[in-house]
Amino acid sequence: MSSYGVATQKALSEATDIPTNTVSNWVQRNSVPSNVILKCSVDTGADARWLVTGELAKANSSQRSRALKGKPLYDKILASGGKAVLRRILDAYGFDTQKELGDLLNISSGTISTWVRRNFFPGDVVIACALDTGVSLEWLSTGSGAMQDLPIAVKNSVLGAITLESLKLVAGKLEPQGQCIFDNRFLPKDISQDSLRYIYSGSRAWLISFDSLELSNGTWLLDIDGTLDVYSVSRRPGNRLRVSGKDGEFECSVNEVKAEGIVAVCIKKFL
């Protein structure tokens, strides 16, 4: 109620579009659903830790000035369950497998698999993950915004830093992963920064410019029959291409593949 700037349960009901009798039940049962806590934090800007535990000051004490999203936001949170929210939880913890998450939280693999199968939104786990890792609660809940909400002072302290959209290449599709900060001193001088995106897959990562769409010799993000991947391309006479990827090499005509962007910087992990 403090976060929404209201004084009564009825006013809270009107602000959240949640029935008054439902709000009353929370009081009687001494329990507020985790999804409602998530919605309140994202909707009002209130600090999630303060909402859950009462610790720390509210992140935003002037809630009335915010444009509240109400039921559309609540619906968006509930619709962000299943595989998508599980993937974000794993990324926040830096885990590759469901077993690692289960071992950390003492949750069975069967329960985690049920989230995916039933497209379930595990609100309690999302809150615990946000408090545990410090990632953005909005990103964790809905996939919107940046994974990490870095203070402006931190961003400005990095000389020549630029903010790029981050995308994960999964099964031939690009999945939004928020934003990342990159030192522009590593960029080629003739590349437009506005066209760049950070894309990664496993141990491979690239800065890709989406301005260049006319195929030439180089490394490209290609769409082949609706599936995206990064390939080395060299032109051949007769409007032919030689295309090399992680799974092999082949030749084709120029019009058999679609160029999505050219790789400006290739980043490799050395383990």
CA 55/CA 70 separation, integer angstroms: 25
Q: Where in the chain is the domain with CATH 2.10.109.10?
A: 153-268
Which carries the bigger pLDDT value, residue 150 or residue 246? Answer: 246
Whether the predicted pLDDT of 13 surpasses 50: yes
Taking only the tens place, the pLDDT of each residue in 150-187 is 544 444 444 467 778 888 889 899 888 877 777 777 77
Q: Where in the chain is the domain with CATH 1.10.260.40?
A: 9-142
pLDDT bin (cut points 50, 70, 90) of residue 240 is very high
Residue 89, burial from CB neighbour count under 10 angstroms (0-12, 13-18, 19+) = buried
pLDDT bin (cut points 50, 70, 90) of residue 242 is very high
Phi, psi of 103 (to 5 degrees): -65, -40
- Report which of 229, 158, 167, 230 is spatially closest to residue 198, judged by C-alpha positions: 167
CATH 2.40.160.40 fits 153-268, yes or no: no
With a pLDDT cut of 90, the percent of the chain lying above it is: 16
CATH of domain 9-142: 1.10.260.40
pTM: 0.45
Say what the pLDDT of residue 248 is.
87
Say what the pLDDT of residue 228 is.
93
β pairing state of 258-268 and 161-170: unpaired
Which carries the bigger pLDDT value, residue 263 or residue 142? Answer: 263
